[in-house]
Amino acid sequence: MNPELQAAIYNIGKDVAGLTGGFWFIQAPQKNVYPYSVTSRVDGIPDRDSVNTFDDEYLQMNIYHTDHAALITISELFKTAFDNKQSNIIMASYWCIDITLQFNRGPKKLDDVFQLTQQYKIHIQKK
């Protein structure tokens, strides 16, 4: 993932209220506390026209919690922070053109923990 975009997403994620266990990229520590979120990048294809360079980045967030209702609340906070809020993504070398929720899956129970997955498509343009 574009390092500037990753840092901007991390800044949004750490401000989501209730994520006491943290906002992690790829993998959380073994002894982490709930709730927490793990993000990962899904491969995108660069798009170019004659003048500009565009990239579509795909962000997948997996949110984990032992409390079903609290997980839904945190999921809604993420949606509020990301859905159509390209102004929240601040980068020095790129503009965020659009953010689109691709899917919202879950929550499903894994052992004693609930997991909810949200995937976003983030369209950025080089300045």
What residue ranges in the chain does DSSP mark as E strands? Answer: 23-25, 36-42, 47-48, 53-65, 94-110, 113-126
Question: Which domains, and CATH codes, for the chain?
Answer: 3-126 (3.30.2000.30)
Length of the chain: 127
Tell me the CA distances in angstroms from 40 to 2, 12, 127, one per residue in order: 12, 15, 25
Per-residue pLDDT of the chain (127 residues; tens, 9 = 90+): 788 888 888 888 777 767 778 888 888 888 888 898 888 887 666 565 555 678 888 989 899 999 999 999 988 988 888 876 788 888 999 999 999 899 999 899 988 899 999 999 998 888 8
36-42 and 23-25 strand pairing: parallel
